[in-house]
Amino acid sequence: MVDGQWVSVGTMNFDNRSLALNDESTLMALDLEIGKQMERIFFDDLSHSEEIDLKTFRKRPFYEHIAEHGASLLTRLL
């Protein structure tokens, strides 16, 4: 969302794999009312989120480190 009126919603990823192999779709709208609605939805979602700072991130469980490493080995396949 830009300036509360330009909205992009969808699955579009700007990488070579996504552009060449995946079916991507995105809806873009330039509309003040839709922008206001999406802004309300965004801030509602944000109110249910939790900020994780670097100190907390580094203290995550060991199994998460292993899962992240395993996923990084499969990056080209994911």
Q: How many domains does the chain fold into? A: 1
14 in any annotated domain? yes
35 in any annotated domain? yes
78 in any annotated domain? no
43 in any annotated domain? yes
10 in any annotated domain? yes
Range of the domain at 61: 6-73
Q: For residue 66, is pLDDT > 70? A: yes
Structure tokens at 26: 């995105």
Q: What is the per-residue pLDDT across 7-40, written as a single tens digit (0 to 9) for each?
A: 988 877 777 777 777 777 888 999 999 999 999 9
Cα–Cα separations (whole angstroms), residue 57 to 16, 46, 49, 51, 74:
30, 19, 15, 10, 22
The pLDDT value recorded for residue 17 is 74
37 in any annotated domain? yes
50 backbone dihedrals φ, ψ, rounded to 5°: -130, 125
